Chain A
Amino acid sequence: MASSPAFAGALKLAVDGTPRLDLTRDPKNPLAALPPQFAAKAKRVIYLHMAGAPSQLELFEYKPELVRLDGQDCPASLLAGKRFAFITGVPKLMGPQYPFHQVGESGHWISDRLPHLEKHLDELCFIKSMRTDQFNHAPAQLLVQTGNARLGYPSLGSWVVYGLGTENQNLPGFIVLISGGKTPDGGKQLWGTGFLPSVYQGVQCRSHGEPVLYLNSPKDVTVSERRSVLDAIDELNQQNYAEFGNPETVTRIAQYEMSFRMQMDATDAMDIHKESETTRAKYGSKPGESSFANNCLVARRLAERGVRFIQLYHWGWDSHGSNAGDSLNFGFVKRCQEVDQPIAALLSDLKDRGLLEDTLLVWGGEFGRTSMRENRSGQVTKFTGRDHHPGAFTMWMAGGGVKPGITHGQTDDLGYEIVKDPVEIRDLHATMLHILGFDHHKLNYSFQGLDQKLTSVKPARVVAEILA
């Protein structure tokens, strides 16, 4: 651990002999902004992760053939060699549970569940052929967020902040906002830093009360007193770093300093009271709640302040049909209402403020849902639902770097298997890094004798078709 930065500094050539990206920084400023490898189309990311995996077949994937075959036994060829989380025996095919229609110039299909987002459909770039190899929530979320289904790898946001740093030194470069409910199954590892120095870890901010606990100085401690305490600690840490060279010491110094600076700025950035009544109404935001609406509004405020990577998690999309909350007829309806208006408002605000030009917005879950109705324990469930489906799902992107109003990839008539342009998670990551100005091969960190990278070892492809 201690030797890796020095080693990385000395060795500027990667294994293939090409020059390695020099990401060394002044040890006192590990988050200092660095220019991208080549001119970037986007400077920051807002990632809206719908934990639990929303059903693409009730939102964006319209399959008339599935309407026709609704209620029929699933053909054996669809089941051969497949593993399901809950489906057993021969399930029944299930058509879309909500009516679909086409919208805008792009002619994207959408169900009636997202009436606000619908107005922005021409801004969105759909990937209908996403694929993963994980069919349980935690590993699938880890794969989407860290490029690896196992624990211990740096998250997407950590890699981005490691590569680009952050201009605004008064706020963390990587902020995580969770809208009540529950923490995603993948846990805090989803914004963890893995083997990268921990200064690049995502900072989870609370959506009500103080955004970061214990940020403010204790009562009766003045700013100057606080400053002199920090100066003393800083000096001791600098001595320690000079002696041992452990990057974690630098992380510690940087975090003390950041929390001091954040005392002012973080509270201000998170304070949605500063927004007008009209703006809050547009998002459907109610201050004091822990809601996705509030988080979308905060996300916009953070984007305006130059935060590099803003990660939002919404929850409860696991519509198995095993109870009302986890069903397509009830829970799903509520989830749609919770995200529809805020996402539309976020898109509209970013657009009005010109921020959509250089902000990459990403929406998606960790996998898709089956074309079949779930029949947990071989029974017809009281509510309707679909099982986990890693074979095909839908994500969308918008903003800087992607073509608006297009669809990439295609699934078969049942929305079950990809028939055109499959996109692996590592392809998505390679594409995102490309939009941010990096060749994913070159954004490396030396660890355990390897030039580690977000896209890992399998060949990843930048989805050039969607690049603007």
Chain B
Amino acid sequence: MIPWLGDTRARRFLGFTTLVPIMVLLGLVIFAPPDGNERAQFLQFFGRFHPLSVHLPIALLMLAPLFELAGRTRYFPYLLSAVDFVLGLATCGAIVAAALGWLLARNGGFSGPLVTQHMWAGLSVAGAAWLCWILRAKTSTKGGNASGKKLYPAILITTVALVSFAGHRGGQLSQGENYLTEFAPAPIASLLGAGDSGDVPTNSPNGGANTYYGARIQPLLNQHCTTCHRRSKHKSNLRLDSFDAMMRGGKHGPVIKAGEIKGSELLRRVTLPQSDDDFMPPDNRRPLSTTDVKIIERWIAAGASGTVGTDALKDAPPIGATQSTAEAKFEEPDPATVAKERASLAPTVAELQKRFPNVLDYQSRASADLVVTASWMGTKFGDSEMAALGPLSERIVSADFTNTAITEKSASIIASMKHLRALRLMHTKIGDTTVQGLGSLDLLEALNIFETAVTPAALPTLARLPKLQHVYVGETKIVDSASVPQEIRQKLIF
């Protein structure tokens, strides 16, 4: 140990010089507490270093008990001699942090219970750290006294508790009350009493959920304003977390004047150019949209009542940029189920895929139904290729034979595709025989025979298909006339 630190006079001097600023701070906190009014900007400049400065003393104060414990094991005995230094440094750090904290709170216009709690806890940390340091020195030098030896661990534990509390309150101040618990699983959240912070906007008779204020105004304020203007943190002494608080106004007086759009300070602040010093919300936070402004404007113009009904103000914008809530479904196939469904046909599918690449495939990754796209092969796909699809015909739900060389010879295979929902035979050499063979395709919804030789003779067959919705008959011998059976006529697209 450094000799002079062991010296009583030197220690008394050090102890005294650190106690003085603590006492001065105590005085300031009592006689010049943060009152929600903003003051000198250059002091705010220093004050804003407060959040930076707090982490060192927090870490050191956590380190001290750790050293005490670890130092008592046989592995790290040397740590014990460092505790004194750590505590001294922590005390100095805590004093600096507390001083900066007061600068920030007093000059930055903060006030409210959260600020007060944080401030007192922070100052207590500085005091408690100082006490620990003094007691530790007293007990470790010259054999120490008995009461000090008992007191020291208790004070140290208290300090750690105080640091945790002050740190947590500080975190809540900067990140929002429910920052830690916002995404906590429900049981944990209820255990921690989250959502019960006493900061819930009051739903007094003025501003209930079915009033215009409660439904339109308060949600806007909660979104844009209450981070700084609420019960526990009311900058400029203004609270916007309830109707009553809002009508009380702030240190500059009322912010809402019923019926006076021009005279209402709140409206003036949110509609200033964003570069204006008085613009709200400040610091490049998202400004209110024109619709938001309109919602407030109409309310003030109509008398700024807390009880007027949700839809009493006829000229108010419709409930703002509402988002519909319908959700699209994403099927999540179970690979095992799909594999099982496909098991019986998979080898045949694989073989045909090899023979005709990009012609045959499953409808989707979740399905054992098949889709045929032969159109791109053009005349290279004909009746013999069609015949190869025979074994799988019942599994095909959609087939496109546009531009292929198939003829009436394929009629029987197509007729055996009993589960077809969509069939395209556009620009092929098929004719009435093929279409007349479709009589048992009970699931068919769309049939395309554009540019084929099909004639009206095929229509009675189609008229019997229960699910059929569209038949594309352009460029065929079927024309729109009274002779077309009525039940099929509105399904034909000419």
Contact = CB atoms under 8 A, between A and B. Distances in A.
Interface of A: 18-19, 21, 29, 32-40, 76-78, 80-81, 165-171, 304-306, 351-354, 357-358, 410, 412, 416-422, 431, 434, 437, 439, 462-465, 467
Interface centre among B365, B470, B472 (most CB of A within 10 A): B365
A89 B326 CA distance: 42
Given A37-B365, A465-B324, 18 more contacts: A19-B335, A35-B364, A35-B365, A37-B366, A78-B290, A167-B376, A168-B358, A168-B376, A306-B373, A352-B472, A353-B450, A354-B424, A354-B472, A357-B470, A417-B321, A418-B321, A419-B318, A463-B328
Nearest to B373: A167
Nearest to B322: A420
B361 interface: yes
Interface string B350-374: 0000000111011111110001010
B291 A80 contact: no
A465 B290 contact: no
Interface residues of B, number: 52
Contact of B446 (A304, A352, A357): A357
Contacts of A81: 274, 287
Contacts of B289: 417
A12 to B, nearest CB: 10
B321 A467 contact: no
Nearest to A408: B324
A168 B450 CA distance: 21
Most-contacted residue by chain B among A29, A32, A351, A412 (CB, 10 A): A412
A306 B472 contact: no
Given A32-B358, A38-B365, A419 B376 contact: no
B364 A354 contact: no
A33 B358 contact: yes
B212 to A, nearest CB: 17
B73 interface: no
A34 B287 CA distance: 47
Contacts of A357: 422, 446, 470
Q: What 5 A-B pairs are tightest by C-beta distance, nearest first?
A: A168-B376, A462-B328, A464-B326, A354-B448, A354-B472
Contacts of B362: 35
Given A35-B361, A354-B446, A416-B290, A421 B426 contact: no
Nearest to B274: A81
Contacts of B317: 412, 419
Contacts of B367: 35, 39
A420 B376 contact: no
Contacts of B327: 462, 464
Interface in B313-354: 317-318, 320-324, 326-328, 330-333, 335
Contact of B376 (A80, A170, A354): A170
A364 B127 CA distance: 67
Contacts of A78: 290
B493 A354 contact: yes
B309 interface: no
A305 B404 CA distance: 11
A382 B493 CA distance: 49
* Secondary structure type dominating chain A contacts: loop
A248 B47 CA distance: 57
A81 B292 CA distance: 14
A21 B376 CA distance: 26
Given A37-B366, A39-B363, A352 B493 contact: yes
A420 B365 contact: no
A358 B472 CA distance: 14
Nearest to B366: A38
B361 A33 contact: yes
B232 interface: no
A165 B358 CA distance: 9
Nearest to B287: A81
A416 B366 CA distance: 43
B357 A422 contact: no
A207 to B, nearest CB: 22
B332 to A, nearest CB: 8
B326 A465 contact: yes
Contacts of A412: 290-291, 317
A39 B357 contact: no
Interface in B402-426: 402-403, 422, 424, 426
Given A38-B331, A306-B376, A419 B321 contact: yes
B124 interface: no
B437 interface: no
B364 A29 contact: no
Interface centre among B287, B322, B328, B371 (most CB of A within 10 A): B328
Nearest to A423: B323
B359 A167 contact: yes
Contacts of B335: 19
Nearest to A75: B290
Contact of A422 (B323, B376, B474): B323
12 contacts: A37-B364, A38-B365, A39-B366, A80-B273, A167-B375, A305-B403, A306-B376, A353-B448, A354-B448, A417-B290, A421-B321, A464-B326
A352 B451 CA distance: 11
A1 B323 CA distance: 41
Given A421-B322, A421-B323, A467-B328, A354 B290 contact: no
Interface in B271-327: 271-274, 287, 289-291, 293-294, 317-318, 320-324, 326-327
A171 B371 CA distance: 20
A78 B289 CA distance: 9
